[in-house]
Amino acid sequence: MKITDVINYLKKQTGKAKDNESWKAENLGDRLIGVVGFGGMLERSSQTICTSLGLTDPADKQHVHLLLIREFVRQLAAHYEWEVSQ
């Protein structure tokens, strides 16, 4: 899997929503892509991690970025479940 696969998936899924759905009105898709995508918070964090570990191979850098995305999605899903249970 590549970072672009994740970004394209987010675009496809968030693009399906009707305009009147609140999460689309709040630009959730754009905000998620801004966090997980290139130049986003998670990429900057992955660059910091790779630098501190001395990782220079692009495949290693992508792997770290994907691990951060996976953890972010896990935390986001847990938060969503908690919010809807309130």
Burial per residue of 35-71, b for 16 or more beta-carbon CB atoms within 10 angstroms, e otherwise = bbbeebebbeebeeebeeeebeeeeebbebbbebbee
Instruction: State which residues form the domain around 29.
Output: 3-85
pTM summary value = 0.84
CA atoms within 13 A on the CB side of 83: 6
Residue of 8, 74, 70, 80 whose CA lies nearest to 42: 70
Into how many domains does the chain fold? 1
The CA distance from 37 to 33, in Å, is 5
- Tens of pLDDT, residue by residue over 51-61, are 999 999 999 99
pLDDT in tens, 40-80: 999 999 999 999 999 999 999 999 999 999 999 999 999 98
